[in-house]
Amino acid sequence: MCSARVRSDDDLTTRARIREAAVDLFGRAGFAATSVRAIATEVGVSPALLLHHFGSKDGLRQACDDHITGWLTDEIERVNVDDTPATVMSLMGRRPEYNTMIRYVRRTIVDGGKFADRVFASLVTDTRRYLAAEVAHGHAPPTDDEEGRALTLVVLSLGTHLLAQYLAPPGTADDDVIFVAGERLALPMLEMLTHGLYSDTLMLDAYREYLARIPHLTSEKGSR
Amino acid sequence: MCSARVRSDDDLTTRARIREAAVDLFGRAGFAATSVRAIATEVGVSPALLLHHFGSKDGLRQACDDHITGWLTDEIERVNVDDTPATVMSLMGRRPEYNTMIRYVRRTIVDGGKFADRVFASLVTDTRRYLAAEVAHGHAPPTDDEEGRALTLVVLSLGTHLLAQYLAPPGTADDDVIFVAGERLALPMLEMLTHGLYSDTLMLDAYREYLARIPHLTSEKGSR
DNA sequence: TCATTGGCTGAACGCACGTTTAGGGTACTG
DNA sequence: CAGTACCCTAAACGTGCGTTCAGCCAATGA
């Protein structure tokens, strides 16, 4: 079920080849900017066949979402067993089929919608689990706002993917962008996650004071 | 020139009102998903007038880009004088006209293109200048990779805007999303920027070792 | 053998889009 | 008063879209 996702196109049913092409094109150009005709041409079939199999363009998107969901679940599960985020970040983007998935997820997040909400939520959940493990092993101190810390990490990693095209040098081959961007930021990010940026608590104190002075909510946030 | 950007719609020429509506709609839904007819309806004029003034839909986009460029330059210049990133982050998103600008910039970055490259580059430049000042004042230690550190900060701040809809609680009013997301992350981010995440150098050392073992480039990166 | 099923196509439909064209209305200018 | 310049519109054009429909063709099963 897992290794079956890596194979030459010849092995696939036409239905599956259509879906693969759709995932690729949706991920690259977005759902709205990808026409049914473009996908059909890519696969070498008629536009009508596509609707015969999936009912409508939205049906095809649904099939892509489902496919990616399963894929993502498998991979995260497989990876959580024995890898660290650093190695995961390095490994991903190396293999072209990961590129396709990451591009699709990227598009999903950018375009929004229910599926995107679910994907984001699951990323946060996974990060919280990872952070809890780090705290348990004594590699990170506990915090009042575990969710906030997880959100910050998700912004860092997802943001790196979202902005990959700007982080990789101009002219980087399309399929290398995600990997190159990850490598570019890995060291300065780890540096910041290890030693922080500021050498004093000036900023932090200033913001805490700002929060204390303006009690804008039924806030229990500025506490500790 | 600056305060002239805040005024009721009545004061504006029709040409300007069209541009304002276009900035708003392009920012919300994206260029491709916003039709000339939709903008015309919003302003209350005929679609033809729009093309009379701007030549084409692309001409209108260009006018929006130019408008936002000037606006952004003014604001950054005004802000750099005496504000800290924390207060800037807090202030922005408060006023609705900033919301419009941020949404437009967000779309620009997501959709890519030459204008996006320029915007991103100028964000990095500004962040580097800010970091240099912090180092000069002794609030932050120097680093081998100033650009990398700046990129990391840009990913953090821009990422927060890109992902704002997921960071704010579901159901947050459209115009509050950016501000609420900023407030949600401000404290955990400052915490991380001040104290870091990891309490040991395990991760950092592991990645440095990985870099040393795989000399993939004419690298002078794993140094220090 | 014939009927049935399912993958697949070519042609067409209705629609929304960006754009063009011809011209109406109003206010300056000689 | 005629002429001109400008803001603006109604109507239409061509294009590409998602989708529908009638039917071809090969394989299957009775």
Task: Note the pTM of the prediction, 2 decimals.
Answer: 0.88
Contact flag B206-A138 (C-beta cutoff 8 Å):
no
- Which one has a higher pLDDT value, B222 or A134? A134
The two three-digit tokens of residue A203, written as one number: 């900023």
Contact A198, B140 (CB under 8 A): yes
Region of poorest pLDDT, from A122-136, B11-25, B75-89, B171-185: B75-89
Q: Would you say the C-alpha torsion A119, A122, A128, A131 has a positive or negative sign? A: negative
Looking at the complex, report in whole angstroms how far the Cα of residue B30 sits from the nearest Cα belonging to chain A.
Answer: 10
**Segments in B112-199 forming alpha helices (H):** 114-136, 146-162, 164-167, 177-195
Contact A167, A176 (CB under 8 A): no
Q: Convert the pLDDT of each residue in B113-170 to its tens digit.
A: 999 999 999 999 989 999 999 999 999 999 999 999 999 999 999 999 999 999 999 9
**DSSP letters for B78-121:** HHHTT--HHHHHHHTTTSHHHHHHHHHHHHHHHH-SHHHHHHHH
Top-ranked range on mean pLDDT: pick from A7-21, A205-219, B180-194 = B180-194
Q: Do A187 and B145 make contact, defined as CB atoms within 8 angstroms?
A: yes
CA nearest neighbour of B107 among A184, A201, A112, A178? A112
Are A155 and B134 within 8 A, CB to CB?
no
- Cβ-based contacts of A210 with chain B (< 8 Å): 86-87, 90
Protein-proximal nucleotides of chain D (any atom < 7 Å from a CB) = 7-12, 16-22
Q: What is the pLDDT of residues B112-126, one digit of tens each?
A: 999 999 999 999 998
- pLDDT exceeds cutoff 60 at A177: yes
Residues 153-212 of A with CB under 8 A from B: 153-156, 158-160, 162-163, 165-167, 170, 184-204, 206-208, 210-211
The C1' atom of C16 and the CA atom of A89 lie apart, in whole Å, by: 43
What's the pLDDT tens digit per position in B7-63? 455 568 999 999 999 999 999 999 999 999 999 999 999 999 999 999 999 999 999
